[in-house]
Structure 1
Amino acid sequence: MSFKAAISVKNLGKCYQLYNQPHDRLKQFLWRGRRQYFREFWALRDVSFEVMPGEVLGIIGRNGSGKSTLLQLVCGTLTPTSGEVAVKGRVAALLELGAGFNPEFSGRENVFMSAAIMGLSSKEIEARYEDIVDFSGIRDFIDQPVKTYSSGMYVRLAFSVAINVDPDILVIDEALSVGDGEFARKSFDRIRDMKKAGKTILFCSHSLYQVEAFCDRVLWLDHGDIKLFGNPQETVQGYSISLLGGAETESAAPLTTSPSAITAPKGYARLCHVEVSLDGEIGSVLRGRPDENDLSIRLQFESDPQLPAPTVGVTISYGTLMTVACVVSRSENVLIERDEHGRGEVTIDFPALPLRKGEYHVAVYLGNEDAVHIYDSVQIAATLQIEDPLPEPGLVNLVHHWHTRAID
């Protein structure tokens, strides 16, 4: 195992014993291994990799692929069945909701207990206590039992403790998907600061865009094995292709108009109105033909005027299988204009839409200025039903030219 790596994992495996009936556990104990009343389930098997200091490693995979088990083994909250894990430095972890805090204790008591477990002395905790509470934003409830907290309040406090113990390694397992926009943005800003400061980060998320944009390398787990490990673009693309045909249909979101307000809440941005039209006809289900119709997506948004203008993105997907096209204002250097209250309107036009026969979904996203954090989205703003009398296969008509001549 490398002495230079912040995290070294070698031939790591974790096996669980599954019993069909509760009394089989007693039988197994009484027979002392002479008979077996359980079946083995390997959550991880023969996993090896290294993470260097200052590296951000993304971890992706379907539910049940072993991601959370791997993170718990790295954090030391689980014992491996085989192999070994070596970690250099202080680890702070934000794992699944509910881990780490005692629900009967107050927020204050849990701060001291959790920080002590992470290796801080009483004096160090006292010196950082105010920063922890200020970042969490739940000072009014800090002396109430944690069992009375909402999921968002819980994550606020847990994350505040994790980042303020000054860890060498930060482990995040999807927990930041809980909570409001202001805190989510503030959290991602702090994570970026930690990355710039050279901290090692394990980032487990189902948000493939965030993983690809934020991580240096990505580890793809599949049924407890490493499927692919390396470049973020290649690994995320491989995982996305593996999901073809197996994705669950997103719940449809209608054309949306939010209750009017002067501005969005502090640190936040939101879509107020989204409409999709084909040749000027607005609707949630639109019918067209290849190369004959002009597609237009118009959206209005509200945002905190004290923050940079948000990023706008639009995707067109073939059902739930694959993204056919994606446009993002940041990538195309489009300046999003707003008024003094942070309100703005954006229209994206696709002339002579070149889609071939099939059903397509239009989705709209509103992200922060570097498009890592998604403030708001409408997953199915409209469904396009394209009819094509031609039998040839394909999803799009590419611009092309024919050249032919007779050969003498």
Structure 2
Amino acid sequence: MLSESISVVDPASQAPVYAIEAHGLGKCYGLYARPGDRLKQLLWGRWRNYSREFWALQNVDLAIKPGEVVGIVGRNGAGKSTLLQMLCGTMPPTTGSLQVNGRVAALLELGAGFNPEFTGIENVFMNAAILGMKHQEVKDRLEEILSFADIGEFVHQPVKTYSSGMFMRLAFAVATSVEPDILVIDEALSVGDGAFARKSFDRIMGLKEAGKTILFCSHSMYQVEALCSRAMWIEAGTLRMLGTAAEVTSAYQTSLNASIPRSPELHADAIEAATSPKVAAPPGSGRITRIVAKAGGVSGRELDLVSGKTDLEITIEFTIDPTLPPPAVAFGFSDANKLTVASVLSSNDGIRLYVDKSGHGRAVVSFSKVPLLKGRYTVAGFLLCENAVHLYELVEHSLILNVTQKGLEQGLVTLPHEWGSHG
């Protein structure tokens, strides 16, 4: 018989060395070739096995200290959700031991415990109880929860009458109101419209700054590296790599790039549509209104450059809610195989952008003698919050750069270098 062990420790009873500690954690499922085999297994499984084993997760060892922010990356089906469900206590492991020290709040499937026939307020009490809050605690925080969700009089209506946005807002407000010791997030950093997405992001950042332990599962390597101190890479049910966020995301991205087929040629009309003028930014958010480049005295969105010879200037214009702090902007350069070659970020360079009273702003970045080697490159434009973590808008393929070269160098970039001789 395979062993399983889960324990949840009250943090008030001791000072735990680890918030989460796991040894040899694994989850196995039985897969059946035909529906009838399930009945056969039930009736005669003592003498014969009618299923085959499938290990969704196997031999995972973890030790996460209180206050750490750890990212989880991996392809779809790699076992990330299985790991998170076991850490949250909603799924027992097949093998190994797991100890969780403290109250856990999970942002996995927002509103999974909501009853569509109940009103919003009734669901708040029910869902908060599932998350471990006492009735009086919910009553004390009810006004704060409803204010954060901001769905007005709909809180007195059945949840089945809600729009998807209203449903998500209420579910997020409840899930983050329990003041957890450990917060588990699965692609839930931004929910709802622009204003609420910003508000939800600020609440999660507040939990991080308060020293809460956070596990953040995401397909955004940028957010994982920006938010997390460490990261783990789950591949085919096993822990392939555990290290600093920068090391893990770099290795994982390299693995993804190796499996991506060459992309088709991009057309100028598609780029024009991607950066067409847009309306003013909605409350709590921002919008990119224009991206244009200049090289060799020519302006446009598709330019010809000579490697190591041509200067490049990129201008980005944006509009943002005037009540928000000035944003950050970034550009990412990718080759024809979608490999990110280089990137620049205004806040990383200590640049604070100017925004007028209406929320309009622009930024210009210059590259001297662009060192890209021959090839066709695309440039993506990013508009982010002042901390460069929350993404307001991304415009992919905003620019195309056709680079030629005179020398025989190979690769993606030319490195500054000097030759010497010794006689």
Say whether 1:289 aligns with 2:302.
no
**Which whole-Å CA distance do the structure 2 matches of 1:140 and 1:351 have between them?**
57
Say whether 1:110 aligns with 2:123.
yes
Task: Spell out the pairing of 1:165-314 with structure 2 (5 A cutoff).
Answer: 165-247=178-260, 254-255=271-272, 256-261=275-280, 264-314=281-331
Change (3 A) 1:129 1:51: same
**Which whole-Å CA distance do the structure 1 matches of 2:16 and 2:110 have between them?**
33
Cα distance, 1:386 vs. partner? 2.1
**Which whole-Å CA distance do the structure 1 matches of 2:165 and 2:293 have between them?**
33
SS at match of 2:257: coil
SS at match of 1:158: helix
Q: Is the Cα contact below 8 Å between 1:257 and 1:274 reproduced in 2?
A: no
**Which whole-Å CA distance do the structure 2 matches of 1:17 and 1:99 have between them?**
25
Q: Which residue of 1 aligns with 2:389?
A: 372
Between 348-357 and 78-87, the greater mean CA deviation after superposition = 348-357
Q: Please tell me the residue identity of whatever aligns with 1:94.
A: L
**Which whole-Å CA distance do the structure 2 matches of 1:180 and 1:33 have between them?**
54
TM-score using structure 2 length: 0.88
Between 59-68 and 380-389, the greater mean CA deviation after superposition = 380-389
Change (3 A) 1:279 1:20: farther
Q: Is the Cα contact below 8 Å between 1:316 and 1:325 reproduced in 2?
A: yes
Q: Is the Cα contact below 8 Å between 2:291 and 2:316 reproduced in 1?
A: yes
Q: Which residue of 2 aligns with 1:63?
A: 76
**Which whole-Å CA distance do the structure 1 matches of 2:93 and 2:421 have between them?**
66
Q: Please tell me the residue identity of whatever aligns with 1:265.
A: P
Q: Which residue of 1 aligns with 2:85?
A: 72
Runs of 4+ with deviation above 4 angstroms: 248-253
Q: Is the Cα contact below 8 Å between 1:151 and 1:178 reproduced in 2?
A: no
Considering only aligned residues, what root-mean-square deviation do their CA atoms show, in Å?
Answer: 2.3
**Which whole-Å CA distance do the structure 2 matches of 1:177 and 1:398 have between them?**
39
Q: Is the Cα contact below 8 Å between 1:162 and 1:170 reproduced in 2?
A: no
Q: Is the Cα contact below 8 Å between 2:66 and 2:212 reproduced in 1?
A: yes
Q: Which residue of 2 aligns with 1:131?
A: 144
For structure 1, list consecutive stretches of 5 or more residues without a partner in the other structure: none
SS at match of 1:243: helix
Cα distance, 1:245 vs. partner? 2.1
Q: What is the identity percentage for the equivalent residue pairs of Structure 1 and Structure 2? A: 50
Between 346-355 and 42-51, the greater mean CA deviation after superposition = 346-355
Cα distance, 1:44 vs. partner? 0.5
**Which whole-Å CA distance do the structure 2 matches of 1:285 and 1:116 have between them?**
56
Q: Which residue of 1 aligns with 2:368?
A: 351
Cα distance, 1:158 vs. partner? 1.7
Counterpart among 398, 401, 404 of residue 381 in structure 1: 398
SS at match of 1:267: coil
TM-score using structure 1 length: 0.92
Q: Is the Cα contact below 8 Å between 2:378 and 2:397 reproduced in 1?
A: yes
Q: Which residue of 1 aligns with 2:412?
A: 395
**Which whole-Å CA distance do the structure 2 matches of 1:230 and 1:240 have between them?**
15
Say whether 1:84 aligns with 2:101.
no
Change (3 A) 1:240 1:142: same
Q: Which residue of 2 aligns with 1:363?
A: 380
Q: Please tell me the residue identity of whatever aligns with 1:334.
A: I
